[in-house]
Amino acid sequence: MSNEEEQYPSLKKEIVKEENMFPLKYVCEEKAKQIEDDIEKEVELAEKMKEMPNPYRFAGYDPNVIDFIRRCETEEQAVEIIDYLKKKGDISRSTAKDIKQLLSKDGLRSFGEKKQAGFYFQHED
């Protein structure tokens, strides 16, 4: 008998009794299989999540005047956006003037191709 068995004889009896009621080998094998299955599910989920675009990739992104202009259908809409952002104080008077000149000279699509509604939800990393 080991030193622990001598110190805790009642515990030893309880363990032996439980082993007889629930074979330890069976309990361990079942638990091990359950853990293994859970790990496999977690790995599969992690792989699927890697394939999915990150829904938070644009979190904290603050669109600028160019982002808004790229959603416009017409130059008139772009001018409205520029005037609004100038009035709101998001762009300076000189920046507004420069952007309007570029818009007039080079056209609406000189700022980039049109971004569709929902761009930030559809765009992949």
Q: In a structure prediction context, what are the per-residue pLDDT tens digits for the chain, which is 125 residues long? A: 556 556 666 766 666 555 555 555 555 677 777 777 878 888 888 887 777 777 667 677 778 898 889 999 999 999 999 999 999 999 999 999 999 999 999 999 988 888 876 655 555 54
Who's near 11: CB < 8 A, 6+ residues apart?
Answer: none
Domain boundary assignment for the chain: 3-51, 65-122
pLDDT of residue 46: 80
- In angstroms, the CA 43 to CA 25 distance is 27
pLDDT of residue 117: 66
Q: Kindly calculate the radius of gyration of the chain based on its CA atoms and give it in whole angstroms.
A: 33
Other beta carbons less than 10 A from residue 41's beta carbon: 10
pLDDT of residue 93: 94
pLDDT of residue 76: 95
Who's near 34: CB < 8 A, 6+ residues apart?
Answer: none
CB 5 within 8 Å of CB 12: yes
Residue 50 structure tokens: 């890697």
The pTM of the full predicted model, rounded to 2 decimals, is 0.50
- In angstroms, the CA 102 to CA 80 distance is 15
pLDDT of residue 122: 57
pLDDT of residue 44: 84
Question: First CA to last CA across the chain, in angstroms?
Answer: 64
- In angstroms, the CA 33 to CA 31 distance is 5
pLDDT of residue 125: 47
